[in-house]
Amino acid sequence: MKIKKADFVKSAVYEKDYPEQLDKMEFAFVGRSNVGKSSLINSLTSRLKLARTSKTPGRTQLINYFLINDEFYIVDLPGYGFAKVPKEMKKQWGQTMERYIASKRKKLVFVLLDIRRVPSDEDIEMLEWLEYNDMDYKIIFTKIDKLSNNERAKQLKAIKTRLVFDNEDVFFHSSLTNKGRDEILNFMEEKLNN
């Protein structure tokens, strides 16, 4: 799939702020703060500055809707698990993100995990929540440019002590080199066509 058009639509907090159309597929990106959600969206759309990224965790605090090829939405969500913000703010971002996931929109959720880390309790909770509610989701390991092939194999072993999956069922991506981008785009296209 080629992304020819990517437009920012709106930011939202509550369900009443989401786009009115319900017929369009929505691909949402969740994961802990700083895992690379916004960077991945920029990589997929080949736009450097579509979604705002930052070295400081907690950049994305609202739900940001992007309309792609006038056909489907990409949804950038606030991250979880970042300690260095006041409790009340963390709670608000968490609720904003959870409300979206719990909503009955026509969506697929990409859960992003940093390839360099063993999944946190919050990562596992998120995956269990999606599983329990029978929601459509896929795992993407991010920042794969930061590890050599050897290191990656080792790290996958460590990750699998907490999380069971087949390598063929997950995606591996780098926003720096765009490696893994086509696999994700092809998967999205298949999803749109069935």
Ligand X SMILES: Nc1nc2c(ncn2[C@@H]2O[C@H](COP(=O)(O)OP(=O)(O)OP(=O)(O)O)[C@@H](O)[C@H]2O)c(=O)[nH]1
Site residues, ligand X (CB under 6 A): 31, 33-39, 53-55, 57-60, 78-79, 142-143, 145-146, 174-176
Residue 34 contact among Mg ion, ligand X, none, beta carbon within 5 to 8 Å by kind: ligand X
How many Å apart are CA 86 and CA 92, to the nearest integer?
A: 10
Residue 181 contact among Mg ion, ligand X, none, beta carbon within 5 to 8 Å by kind: none
Categorise residue 34: left if φ over 0, alpha if ψ from -120 to 50, beta otherwise: left
Q: Which is nearer to ligand X, 54 or 186 (CB)?
A: 54
Single out the residue of 173, 76, 130 nearest to residue 122, CA to CA: 130
- Tokens 């698990």 correspond to 81
Output the smallest distance, CB 24 to ligand X, in A.
Answer: 22
Q: How many CB atoms lie within 10 A of CB 59?
A: 18
Q: How many CB atoms lie within 10 A of CB 84?
A: 9
Output the smallest distance, CB 56 to ligand X, in A.
Answer: 7
Output the smallest distance, CB 165 to ligand X, in A.
Answer: 20
Residue 99 contact among ligand X, Mg ion, none, beta carbon within 5 to 8 Å by kind: none
Residue 39 contact among Mg ion, ligand X, none, beta carbon within 5 to 8 Å by kind: ligand X
Rg (CA), the chain: 16
How many Å apart are CA 121 and CA 125, to the nearest integer?
A: 6
Output the smallest distance, CB 193 to ligand X, in A.
Answer: 27
Q: Which is nearer to ligand X, 22 or 124 (CB)?
A: 124
CA distances from 61 to 6, 26, 165 (A): 20, 19, 30
Q: Which residues bind Mg ion (CB under 5 A)?
A: 37-38, 59-60
Q: Which is nearer to ligand X, 67 or 140 (CB)?
A: 140
Angle, helices 37-45 vs 181-192, to 10°: value is 80
Output the smallest distance, CB 133 to ligand X, in A.
Answer: 22
Q: Which is nearer to Mg ion, 54 or 167 (CB)?
A: 54
Q: Which is nearer to ligand X, 118 or 192 (CB)?
A: 118
